[in-house]
Chains A and B, each alone.
Chain A
Amino acid sequence: MMQFMLLFSRQGKLRLQKWYEAHPDKVKKKITRELISTILTRKPKMSSFLEWKDLKIVYKRYASLYFCCAIEQEDNELLTLEIIHRYVELLDKYFGSVCELDIIFNFEKAYFMLDELMVGGEVCETSKVNLLKAIAAQDLLQEDEIVEMALRDMGLI
């Protein structure tokens, strides 16, 4: 099971955090700080894995953004790279060649996307098509609401 996922920039700014295990805020901040500084100092020729406490950290850099996941000992680190990649693909499809700023300004959308891909630290959908459909349908639901609300406000319905 994945314990948490962090997205952060090359400058060490946190862009997204998803925790599947409960920790006090202070601990979360400490872990985040520690991992960001560890990973940012790693050299490109090093592997994408590091052992950290009793967890395995798997990270991968996509342009200016690092995707970092903590998994348990029996989890497959190579597959975790694929999960990260799948997430990036989804973001890319959704935003259309996604960049860091998309995730900054639409962080909630990035969270929604992750929540469709993974629930409780486990992958729950492996079909990209289904995933994007689900997200689109929910976005549509929201937009319909806006239309409805605005129409009501204007007294049209």
Chain B
Amino acid sequence: MTWRPKEKICSRRRSDALINGEGESSGRRPGDTSLGKMSSIKQVINDAVEKGKEVYEKVRQPNPIRLRDLIRQIRSAKTAAEERAVVNRECAYIRLTFREEDSVWRCRNVAKLLYIHMLGYPAHFGQMECLKLIASPRFTDKRIGYLGAMLLLDERQDVHLLITNSLKNDLNSSTQFVQGLALCTLGAIASPEMSRDLAGEVEKLLKSSNAYIRKKAAVCALRIILKVPELMEMFLPATRSLLSEKNHGVLITGVTLITEMCRQSPDMLSHFKKIVPNLVRILKNLIMAGYSPEHDVQGVSDPFLQVKILKLLRILGCGDSEASETMNDILAQVATNTESSKNVGNAILYETVLSIMDIKSESGLRVLAINILGRFLLNADKNIRYVALNTLLRVVHADNSAVQRHRTTIVECLKDADISIRRRAMELCFALINGNNIRTMMKELLAFLEKAEPEFKASCSSKCVLAAEKYSPNVKWHIDTLLKVVQAAGNHVPEDVVSSSIQLISEARSEQPYAVGELWRLLSVAQMEFQPLIQVATWCIGEFGDILLSGQSDVTVVESELIAVYQQILWSSQCSITTKEYALTSLMKLSARLNHEIGSIQQVVSAFGSHLNIELQQRGIEYSQLFTKHSHMRGPLLERMPPFEGTKAGREEGKAALTNGIDSSPDNQALLNDLTTLNNNTNDSYESNALLDLLGGMEPGDGDKVQPTNTVTTGVTPIVPAAPSSNADILDLLGGLDTGPTMPSAISNVNITVAPNQLPSNGNASFLLDGLLNNSTSVTSPVTSLQNFNNISSPVSQQSSIPGINAYDKNGMKLDMTFEVQESLTTINMQATNNTGSQVTDFLFQAAVPKSLQLQMLNPSSTTLAPSGTLSQVIKVNNPNKVALRMRIKLSWTANGSQIQDQGEISNFPPALWQ
């Protein structure tokens, strides 16, 4: 026993380690007298036998090493390779003995194999040996055999047919422990076929006079009805009598079996309603009976049984007032009498609370239950606090006012050391927010948000915004809250928070001076880890810069300061492109609001004409046009956006969603997302109207090129353009679009016919349009702005921006591809050119794409190619997930009488196809 280490699993120094108070058991070992109750005479014989056995083992050669020695060898291996070597050597040896049908050492070898299996090595070759051991008459063999069967087999293996027979024999054995082994194995690995074959035996054993067998048979019956529900009827008569038992093992398994039956079948449920009084009596006896050492766990009498009974009561009492009435008293008794200082008592209280909340219990009892959970929250044990929050979260919608009473405790849990407790507490806090407590709750949540782990920040800030929208006492408070959220969550602020903040400020005319002043204050000190804050601030300052400069807000700003801050943002390498887009447009807007610094704005803006990012470059070029050639239009174009009034309805619905449940279940999130999209869609239509307005003037002048129509599909009253004179100037801008074929493009919101073209100057003009649109859509989430982008400007900009590729150029065959993108559908126009110098026939082009994409190939224009001739084929690829496009291709053709075959992969598709 020298290998016994110092560290005991069960140390008696600490009170939480096992066995409080009864730790006086000495260091007895199995095999000592304590175990087998062997008389000393037997011991002497045994020793003699052991000696004899050793002699005997020496005679037999070769002897397999003992399990203990193998374990020691494996443990002494210094490296993984060494361990592998030991294991492989032993496995080879074990296989050999299996092959030689060595039955003397089979048991030992299988045991060794099981150890090897636990280390993660394959051991399936031991399956048959386990079956042989099971079939052996010796108990030792059976014990290891069944253990091996449970470890190496499961219900999906063919050998089951073989084991079913052995199980049948052993279930009928005269030794209870052999029967026990068989039952235990059946319980662990029963397959549907085995269940059917052995259900009869199990049913017989369920009526056995031996409690040891009866309890195991009950669990087997449970497993059998889980696998084959229609066998339930068969066990019903025997099950009923299980409840009149004294033996706790039989009682607990009986209750478990009935619970499963009730859960599976409504008939069983109504059948077992009548046992409620029995269950109540058993439970009462458990609580009332004095100390019984046999079933006591830290002063509680058989908590395992109590919990099972409580669970069954819950199922029986659910939705049944009569049954609920019967169990009302006992539940109250358990709830008040159970000792709550230890985990075990709390386990019972926890189960009781669940039962009280699920059945039709009296309101007083429900309050009692929630108060138990409230007490749990104050418990020093983190596990109990966790369970309490989880349960409160489950019942908060049913009994909100009762839970409200524990609000302060719940809020305290936001500061808990355990992250999962904090998460639960946060969810619960959001569920508890209402019009009366919003100010205090939001204060706590903002404090939490500030210190929270990054993983919390996004969801927490979104929920803060929703709650503020729903319950904010006034607009100023609302704005303040949103700004605080954006500040506290830093870069983790999701897009929807940015857009709701902007929306709110845009709507709240009276608070704009305050908001802009506040944002300016924040912006001037903002760090780069507050990108969303910068976005909100620049948007608002761009829109309402004049308010800021007029001194209506309580801050005074000098124009040059303003420009300096913008320069810092625009030139910072840490700022994201999105933020720079916001800032650049905002700066442009400011050029119509400032009086003196227009020159420096122009300087900054035109510098972006050569920016590396194409989006910013476009903006730079477009905007600088407004300083030079078209400067007379700058004022009207950069007018203030109308407030986003169209979003109210969407937000109302958002509120409805909020009341439905604050839990962050994916469903709910999806719903919220949908609503956000809805919001933004409403926005779109509004903006489309603005666009119509903007483009209105073009109709009379150049109807060919730009045709705004009144069809607005999203159901907002179409605005008939009034053609303000200044807007008519856009015609000038678009006037150059006279080259190139006119390609009508269906746009979901507005039908505009824009001439697509390749000329750069015209490109600019269309980009300007695009820019204006994007400018107005900058408040929407990226998804919608992308949509907008696609909807309105894609036919122009994407065509010109997606370059074609050369997909293949070998063996005199050249394949070129050009692309058209519409939403997720990419249309590839493939053109094959024959450079072989001779006639090509039987041209065949095949392609395959990754699984997430769908490919459709249209017929080629021809299968023969004259020298230098071409053919074309259209390939359509649907890419709903926007994954990177790759394509495997296979080509074959016949030239000069010989067939040429080739294949390859195209991976140089332009990323613009899926971005």
Give the B-binding residues of A (Cβ under 8 A). 14-20, 22-25, 29, 45-51, 62-65, 74, 76-79, 81-83, 85-86, 88-89, 91-109, 111-112, 115, 119-120, 122-130, 134, 136-143, 145-147, 149-151, 153-154
Give the A-binding residues of B (Cβ under 8 A). 3-5, 7-12, 17-19, 25-31, 35-38, 42, 45-46, 49-50, 52-53, 56, 68, 71, 75, 111, 114-115, 118-120, 122, 124, 138-140, 143-144, 147, 150-151, 154-156, 175, 177, 180, 183-184, 187-190, 212, 215-216, 218-220, 222-223, 248-249, 252-253, 256, 294-295, 297, 302-305, 307, 311, 343-344, 346-348, 350-351, 382-387, 417-421
Contact of A79 (CB < 8 Å), options: B124, B189, B351:
B351
- A22 CA / B188 CA spacing, docked (Å): 9
* CB-based contact A48/B5 at 8 Å: no
- Whole-angstrom distance between the Cβ of A118 and the nearest chain B Cβ: 8
Assess A145 versus B184: contact at CB under 8 Å? Given A46-B382, A76-B350, A101-B4. Answer: no
- Whole-angstrom distance between the Cβ of B779 and the nearest chain A Cβ: 37
* CB-based contact B8/A98 at 8 Å: yes
Q: Cβ of B311: which chain A residues have Cβ within 8 Å of it?
A: 74, 76
Known contacts A105-B71, A147-B46; 4 further A-B pairs (Cβ under 8 A): A65-B9, A136-B35, A139-B31, A141-B175
- Whole-angstrom distance between the Cβ of B576 and the nearest chain A Cβ: 32
- Whole-angstrom distance between the Cβ of B538 and the nearest chain A Cβ: 41
Q: Cβ of A97: which chain B residues have Cβ within 8 Å of it?
A: 8, 10, 12, 25, 27
* CB-based contact A142/B10 at 8 Å: no
- A-B pairs, top 6 by smallest CB distance, nearest first, are A120-B187, A78-B347, A22-B154, A150-B49, A119-B219, A79-B347
Q: Cβ of A51: which chain B residues have Cβ within 8 Å of it?
A: 420
- A153 CA / B152 CA spacing, docked (Å): 32
- A54 CA / B175 CA spacing, docked (Å): 40
- Whole-angstrom distance between the Cβ of B36 and the nearest chain A Cβ: 5
Q: Cβ of A122: which chain B residues have Cβ within 8 Å of it?
A: 219, 222, 253, 256
* CB-based contact A108/B29 at 8 Å: no
What are 23 sample pairs from A and B whose C-beta atoms fall under 8 A apart?
Answer: A16-B118, A19-B154, A22-B189, A45-B382, A45-B417, A46-B420, A49-B387, A74-B311, A77-B387, A82-B344, A93-B25, A97-B25, A99-B8, A102-B4, A104-B71, A107-B114, A108-B144, A111-B147, A123-B252, A125-B249, A139-B31, A153-B56, A154-B56
* CB-based contact A146/B49 at 8 Å: yes
Residue of A nearest to B185 (CB): A115
- A109 CA / B305 CA spacing, docked (Å): 26
Secondary structure dominating the interface of A: helix
Residue of B nearest to A93 (CB): B25
- A20 CA / B226 CA spacing, docked (Å): 12
* CB-based contact B56/A119 at 8 Å: no
* CB-based contact A22/B155 at 8 Å: yes
Q: Cβ of A101: which chain B residues have Cβ within 8 Å of it?
A: 3-5
- Whole-angstrom distance between the Cβ of A127 and the nearest chain B Cβ: 5
Assess A119 versus B38: contact at CB under 8 Å? Given A97-B10, A138-B143. Answer: no
- Whole-angstrom distance between the Cβ of A31 and the nearest chain B Cβ: 13
- Whole-angstrom distance between the Cβ of A132 and the nearest chain B Cβ: 9
- A126 CA / B482 CA spacing, docked (Å): 56
- Whole-angstrom distance between the Cβ of A126 and the nearest chain B Cβ: 5
Assess A83 versus B304: contact at CB under 8 Å? Given A16-B118, A142-B140. Answer: yes
* CB-based contact A49/B383 at 8 Å: yes
Q: Cβ of A136: which chain B residues have Cβ within 8 Å of it?
A: 35-37
* CB-based contact A77/B9 at 8 Å: no
Q: Cβ of B19: which chain A residues have Cβ within 8 Å of it?
A: 89, 92
Q: Cβ of A126: which chain B residues have Cβ within 8 Å of it?
A: 248-249, 252, 295, 302, 304-305
